[in-house]
């Protein structure tokens, strides 16, 4: 089985120089937990997770008592908070490679890239669990 059979092709990309305010808006609008960070050539350079965003900002931002210092955190740029250590998997890789990568890295999200290092999809540990669940609970022939 290939990973493209269960990966999501819906990826949302942001630029390294986008502000965290853009990240916040996208997380709220789309209700997902990972954004692909690309450079000017649309090549994947990083992933920003909701957890990365929350660590970089102050939880007071969402409160009516948020002050100027809290709100100023939203002016930080994506490149200031993302990890430069990218873990991704090539399109058309075997499913077993995705599982091994999840196991070895402890990541919860694995971007899928094409031969030009451009994001074409994303697979999460939740996707694998859903797939396994469907196999375990599928009606027996």
Above 60 in pLDDT, residue 141?
Answer: no
Task: State residue 112's pLDDT score.
Answer: 96
Q: pLDDT, tens digit, for every residue of 12-56? A: 999 999 999 899 899 888 888 899 999 989 999 999 988 888 888
Is the model's pLDDT at 2 over the cut of 90?
no
122 domain residue, yes or no: yes
> For the chain, percent helix, then strand, then coil, each to nearest 5?
40, 25, 35
Which ranges constitute the DSSP H helices of the chain?
20-30, 50-56, 68-72, 95-105, 125-136
141 assigned to some structural domain: no
- Domain carrying residue 29: 3-136
Give a yes or no: residue 44 inside a domain: yes
Domains held by the chain: number: 1
DSSP state of 80: G
Of 10-24, 54-68, 99-113, 125-139, give the lowest mean pLDDT range: 54-68
The CATH number that applies at residue 118 is 3.10.580.10
In a domain, 27, yes or no: yes
Percent of the chain with pLDDT over 90: 41
Phi, psi torsion values for 16, nearest 5 degrees: -55, -30
């Amino acid at each position: 089985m290939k990973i493209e059979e269960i990966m999501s092709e819906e990826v949302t990309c942001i630029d390294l120089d986008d502000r965290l305010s853009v990240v916040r808006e996208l997380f709220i609008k789309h209700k997902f937990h990972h954004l692909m960070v690309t450079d000017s050539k649309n090549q994947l350079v990083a992933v920003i997770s909701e957890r990365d965003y929350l660590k970089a900002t102050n939880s007071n931002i969402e409160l009516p008592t948020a002050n100027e210092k809290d709100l100023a955190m939203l002016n930080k740029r994506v490149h200031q908070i993302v990890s430069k250590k990218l873990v991704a998997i090539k399109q058309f890789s075997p499913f077993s490679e995705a599982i091994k990568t999840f196991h070895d890295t402890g990541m919860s999200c694995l971007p899928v890239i094409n031969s030009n290092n451009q994001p074409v999809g994303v697979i999460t540990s939740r996707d694998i669990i859903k797939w396994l669940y469907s196999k375990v609970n599928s009606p027996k022939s």
